[in-house]
Amino acid sequence: MIIHYDKFETWDRPFGDLVVRLLGEEAVNNLASSNFEYIEDAGDFVVNQSDIETVSTEIQGWLWAHEFCVFHGTRLLPEEILSVQQNGLLPLVATDRERRLRKILARHPRWYSVENRLLEVIEDVGPNEKQGRRQGQVHFSLSRSGLVNSFDHYLTHGSEFDQHVAHRLFGDQSGLEPLHSETVPVLVHVSFSGEQLIQGAHPHFSYSDVVGMGEVPGLARTFLDAWAYKAANPSFNIETLRTDCCVMERFATPRDRILHIEKLGDMAAH
Protein backbone atom coordinates (compact mmCIF):
# COMPACT_ATOMS: atom_id res chain seq x y z
CA MET A 1 0.00 0.00 0.00
CA ILE A 2 1.27 3.45 -0.87
CA ILE A 3 1.47 5.75 2.16
CA HIS A 4 -0.39 9.06 2.22
CA TYR A 5 0.78 11.00 5.27
CA ASP A 6 -2.62 12.65 5.89
CA LYS A 7 -4.40 9.27 5.64
CA PHE A 8 -3.32 7.77 8.93
CA GLU A 9 -4.85 4.41 8.14
CA THR A 10 -2.24 3.89 5.38
CA TRP A 11 0.67 3.88 7.84
CA ASP A 12 -0.72 3.50 11.38
CA ARG A 13 -0.15 -0.24 11.77
CA PRO A 14 3.34 -0.62 10.25
CA PHE A 15 4.64 2.42 12.10
CA GLY A 16 3.00 1.23 15.30
CA ASP A 17 4.78 -2.12 14.92
CA LEU A 18 8.06 -0.20 14.71
CA VAL A 19 7.35 1.68 17.96
CA VAL A 20 6.40 -1.53 19.77
CA ARG A 21 9.70 -3.09 18.66
CA LEU A 22 11.55 -0.05 19.95
CA LEU A 23 9.83 0.43 23.29
CA GLY A 24 7.88 -2.70 24.14
CA GLU A 25 4.16 -3.06 24.80
CA GLU A 26 4.22 -1.54 28.29
CA ALA A 27 5.84 1.71 27.17
CA VAL A 28 3.42 1.99 24.22
CA ASN A 29 0.51 1.52 26.63
CA ASN A 30 1.96 4.29 28.80
CA LEU A 31 2.21 6.48 25.72
CA ALA A 32 -1.43 5.81 24.87
CA SER A 33 -2.58 6.81 28.35
CA SER A 34 -0.50 10.01 28.47
CA ASN A 35 -1.76 13.55 28.14
CA PHE A 36 0.49 15.70 25.93
CA GLU A 37 0.03 19.43 25.48
CA TYR A 38 2.06 19.63 22.28
CA ILE A 39 2.54 17.16 19.46
CA GLU A 40 6.33 17.34 19.87
CA ASP A 41 5.98 16.18 23.48
CA ALA A 42 4.52 12.88 22.27
CA GLY A 43 7.48 12.31 19.97
CA ASP A 44 9.87 13.22 22.78
CA PHE A 45 8.28 10.51 24.93
CA VAL A 46 9.33 7.87 22.40
CA VAL A 47 12.83 9.31 21.98
CA ASN A 48 13.35 9.53 25.73
CA GLN A 49 12.41 5.87 26.12
CA SER A 50 15.16 4.96 23.65
CA ASP A 51 17.79 7.26 22.13
CA ILE A 52 18.11 9.57 19.13
CA GLU A 53 20.35 7.33 17.03
CA THR A 54 18.27 4.19 17.53
CA VAL A 55 14.96 5.92 16.87
CA SER A 56 16.34 7.68 13.78
CA THR A 57 17.88 4.50 12.37
CA GLU A 58 14.72 2.45 12.91
CA ILE A 59 12.53 5.08 11.24
CA GLN A 60 15.00 5.35 8.37
CA GLY A 61 14.68 1.61 7.79
CA TRP A 62 10.88 1.91 7.92
CA LEU A 63 10.95 4.72 5.36
CA TRP A 64 13.20 2.73 3.04
CA ALA A 65 10.73 -0.16 3.12
CA HIS A 66 7.71 1.84 1.91
CA GLU A 67 6.39 3.92 -0.99
CA PHE A 68 4.87 7.35 -0.47
CA CYS A 69 2.61 9.80 -2.26
CA VAL A 70 3.70 13.45 -2.24
CA PHE A 71 2.16 16.49 -3.92
CA HIS A 72 3.32 19.19 -6.28
CA GLY A 73 0.94 22.15 -6.26
CA THR A 74 0.85 24.81 -8.95
CA ARG A 75 -1.31 26.59 -11.52
CA LEU A 76 -1.02 25.61 -15.16
CA LEU A 77 -2.20 26.53 -18.61
CA PRO A 78 -4.16 23.74 -20.39
CA GLU A 79 -1.22 22.89 -22.63
CA GLU A 80 1.03 22.64 -19.57
CA ILE A 81 -1.25 20.04 -17.98
CA LEU A 82 -0.89 17.98 -21.16
CA SER A 83 2.90 18.42 -21.00
CA VAL A 84 3.02 17.08 -17.42
CA GLN A 85 0.92 14.10 -18.47
CA GLN A 86 3.27 13.35 -21.35
CA ASN A 87 6.67 14.44 -20.02
CA GLY A 88 6.42 14.52 -16.23
CA LEU A 89 7.57 17.41 -14.05
CA LEU A 90 10.66 19.32 -15.15
CA PRO A 91 13.03 21.30 -12.90
CA LEU A 92 12.78 25.06 -13.22
CA VAL A 93 14.89 26.56 -16.01
CA ALA A 94 14.40 30.30 -15.68
CA THR A 95 14.98 31.18 -19.33
CA ASP A 96 12.31 28.67 -20.38
CA ARG A 97 9.69 30.75 -18.52
CA GLU A 98 9.92 33.76 -20.84
CA ARG A 99 7.28 32.69 -23.35
CA ARG A 100 4.84 31.65 -20.61
CA LEU A 101 5.28 34.86 -18.66
CA ARG A 102 4.85 37.02 -21.74
CA LYS A 103 1.62 35.23 -22.60
CA ILE A 104 0.16 35.56 -19.10
CA LEU A 105 1.47 38.95 -18.00
CA ALA A 106 0.42 40.60 -21.29
CA ARG A 107 -3.05 40.66 -19.68
CA HIS A 108 -1.80 43.23 -17.16
CA PRO A 109 -2.79 46.83 -18.00
CA ARG A 110 0.78 48.07 -17.41
CA TRP A 111 2.50 45.26 -19.32
CA TYR A 112 3.77 47.43 -22.16
CA SER A 113 5.59 49.73 -19.75
CA VAL A 114 7.58 46.87 -18.19
CA GLU A 115 7.94 44.16 -20.84
CA ASN A 116 11.38 45.39 -21.90
CA ARG A 117 12.67 44.44 -18.41
CA LEU A 118 11.36 40.87 -18.44
CA LEU A 119 14.58 39.12 -19.48
CA GLU A 120 16.63 41.13 -16.98
CA VAL A 121 14.26 40.21 -14.15
CA ILE A 122 14.17 36.53 -15.17
CA GLU A 123 17.98 36.50 -15.07
CA ASP A 124 18.02 38.10 -11.62
CA VAL A 125 15.40 35.82 -10.05
CA GLY A 126 16.73 32.70 -11.80
CA PRO A 127 20.45 32.26 -12.54
CA ASN A 128 21.53 35.17 -10.32
CA GLU A 129 19.45 33.76 -7.42
CA LYS A 130 18.48 37.18 -6.08
CA GLN A 131 15.05 35.88 -5.01
CA GLY A 132 13.51 32.49 -4.34
CA ARG A 133 16.46 30.32 -5.43
CA ARG A 134 14.29 27.85 -7.34
CA GLN A 135 16.53 27.31 -10.36
CA GLY A 136 16.93 23.62 -11.26
CA GLN A 137 14.48 22.38 -8.62
CA VAL A 138 11.06 20.71 -8.31
CA HIS A 139 9.23 21.09 -4.98
CA PHE A 140 6.71 18.83 -3.28
CA SER A 141 4.74 18.60 -0.05
CA LEU A 142 4.37 15.44 2.02
CA SER A 143 1.00 16.70 3.25
CA ARG A 144 -1.86 17.40 0.86
CA SER A 145 -3.71 19.22 3.63
CA GLY A 146 -0.74 21.49 4.31
CA LEU A 147 -0.45 22.40 0.66
CA VAL A 148 -4.16 23.03 0.10
CA ASN A 149 -5.07 24.64 3.41
CA SER A 150 -1.97 26.40 4.68
CA PHE A 151 0.92 27.28 2.34
CA ASP A 152 -1.44 27.50 -0.64
CA HIS A 153 0.13 30.37 -2.59
CA TYR A 154 1.29 27.84 -5.19
CA LEU A 155 -2.36 26.97 -5.83
CA THR A 156 -3.65 30.54 -5.81
CA HIS A 157 -0.90 32.02 -8.01
CA GLY A 158 1.33 29.19 -9.25
CA SER A 159 5.10 29.00 -9.45
CA GLU A 160 6.94 30.93 -6.75
CA PHE A 161 9.47 31.91 -9.41
CA ASP A 162 6.73 33.48 -11.56
CA GLN A 163 5.36 35.30 -8.52
CA HIS A 164 8.77 36.84 -7.78
CA VAL A 165 9.17 37.92 -11.42
CA ALA A 166 5.70 39.50 -11.49
CA HIS A 167 6.32 41.38 -8.25
CA ARG A 168 9.68 42.67 -9.46
CA LEU A 169 8.23 43.83 -12.77
CA PHE A 170 5.20 45.68 -11.45
CA GLY A 171 6.49 46.69 -8.03
CA ASP A 172 3.31 45.57 -6.27
CA GLN A 173 0.90 42.63 -6.00
CA SER A 174 -1.03 43.46 -9.17
CA GLY A 175 1.01 41.06 -11.26
CA LEU A 176 -0.42 38.15 -9.30
CA GLU A 177 -3.89 38.65 -10.77
CA PRO A 178 -3.11 37.39 -14.29
CA LEU A 179 -1.04 34.53 -12.81
CA HIS A 180 -4.29 33.50 -11.12
CA SER A 181 -6.89 34.32 -13.75
CA GLU A 182 -5.14 32.76 -16.75
CA THR A 183 -4.40 29.37 -15.14
CA VAL A 184 -6.04 26.53 -13.23
CA PRO A 185 -4.88 24.99 -9.92
CA VAL A 186 -3.63 21.42 -9.97
CA LEU A 187 -2.15 18.96 -7.53
CA VAL A 188 0.22 16.47 -9.10
CA HIS A 189 0.32 13.27 -7.03
CA VAL A 190 3.78 11.72 -7.29
CA SER A 191 5.22 8.41 -6.13
CA PHE A 192 8.40 8.49 -4.01
CA SER A 193 10.36 5.53 -2.74
CA GLY A 194 11.48 5.81 0.86
CA GLU A 195 15.03 6.52 -0.27
CA GLN A 196 13.86 9.29 -2.61
CA LEU A 197 11.74 10.78 0.16
CA ILE A 198 14.64 10.82 2.64
CA GLN A 199 16.96 12.48 0.14
CA GLY A 200 14.34 15.00 -0.98
CA ALA A 201 13.35 16.00 2.55
CA HIS A 202 17.02 16.59 3.49
CA PRO A 203 18.53 18.29 0.44
CA HIS A 204 21.19 20.30 2.28
CA PHE A 205 22.21 18.17 5.26
CA SER A 206 21.70 14.44 4.79
CA TYR A 207 19.61 12.31 7.12
CA SER A 208 22.77 10.85 8.68
CA ASP A 209 24.31 14.33 8.99
CA VAL A 210 21.35 15.45 11.11
CA VAL A 211 21.62 12.36 13.32
CA GLY A 212 25.31 13.16 13.75
CA MET A 213 24.30 16.63 14.98
CA GLY A 214 22.36 14.96 17.79
CA GLU A 215 18.87 15.41 16.38
CA VAL A 216 16.12 13.20 15.01
CA PRO A 217 15.86 14.22 11.33
CA GLY A 218 12.87 16.35 10.40
CA LEU A 219 11.22 13.75 8.18
CA ALA A 220 11.43 11.13 10.93
CA ARG A 221 9.98 13.58 13.47
CA THR A 222 7.11 14.37 11.12
CA PHE A 223 5.95 10.75 11.25
CA LEU A 224 7.00 10.06 14.84
CA ASP A 225 5.31 13.07 16.42
CA ALA A 226 2.05 12.56 14.54
CA TRP A 227 1.86 8.83 15.29
CA ALA A 228 2.69 9.23 18.99
CA TYR A 229 0.28 12.13 19.50
CA LYS A 230 -2.55 10.25 17.82
CA ALA A 231 -1.77 7.15 19.89
CA ALA A 232 -2.49 9.27 22.97
CA ASN A 233 -5.41 11.12 21.32
CA PRO A 234 -7.29 8.69 19.04
CA SER A 235 -9.79 11.34 17.92
CA PHE A 236 -7.00 13.61 16.65
CA ASN A 237 -7.17 14.23 12.88
CA ILE A 238 -3.71 14.47 11.31
CA GLU A 239 -5.08 16.54 8.41
CA THR A 240 -5.64 19.42 10.83
CA LEU A 241 -1.87 19.67 11.34
CA ARG A 242 -1.48 21.09 7.82
CA THR A 243 2.07 19.81 8.02
CA ASP A 244 4.75 21.82 6.24
CA CYS A 245 7.17 19.02 5.32
CA CYS A 246 8.72 19.96 2.01
CA VAL A 247 10.59 17.71 -0.40
CA MET A 248 12.86 18.87 -3.22
CA GLU A 249 14.46 17.18 -6.21
CA ARG A 250 16.97 18.55 -8.69
CA PHE A 251 15.96 16.37 -11.62
CA ALA A 252 12.90 15.65 -13.71
CA THR A 253 10.05 13.55 -12.35
CA PRO A 254 9.28 11.00 -15.08
CA ARG A 255 5.67 10.43 -16.00
CA ASP A 256 5.70 6.88 -14.66
CA ARG A 257 6.04 8.31 -11.14
CA ILE A 258 2.99 10.53 -11.58
CA LEU A 259 0.03 8.83 -9.95
CA HIS A 260 -2.66 11.41 -10.68
CA ILE A 261 -3.16 15.02 -11.78
CA GLU A 262 -5.92 16.46 -9.64
CA LYS A 263 -7.66 19.57 -10.94
CA LEU A 264 -8.99 21.61 -8.06
CA GLY A 265 -11.95 23.91 -7.94
CA ASP A 266 -10.62 27.41 -8.43
CA MET A 267 -9.00 28.81 -5.34
CA ALA A 268 -9.63 32.43 -4.50
CA ALA A 269 -6.72 34.79 -5.04
CA HIS A 270 -5.55 36.49 -1.87
What are the boundaries of each domain within the chain?
8-68+203-241, 69-190+249-263
Q: What is the pTM of this model?
A: 0.93
Is there a contact between 200 and 248 (Cβ–Cβ < 8 Å)? yes
Q: If you average pLDDT over every residue of the chain, what do you get?
A: 93
d(CA 72, CA 187): 6
Average pLDDT over residues 111-136: 88
What is the pLDDT at residue 267?
64
- Residue 269 in this model has a pLDDT that exceeds 60: no
Confidence category of residue 270, pLDDT binned at 50, 70, 90:
very low
Q: Which residue type is seen at 42?
A: A
Average pLDDT over residues 109-135: 88
d(CA 134, CA 137): 6
Collapsed DSSP state (helix, strand, coil) of residue 92: coil
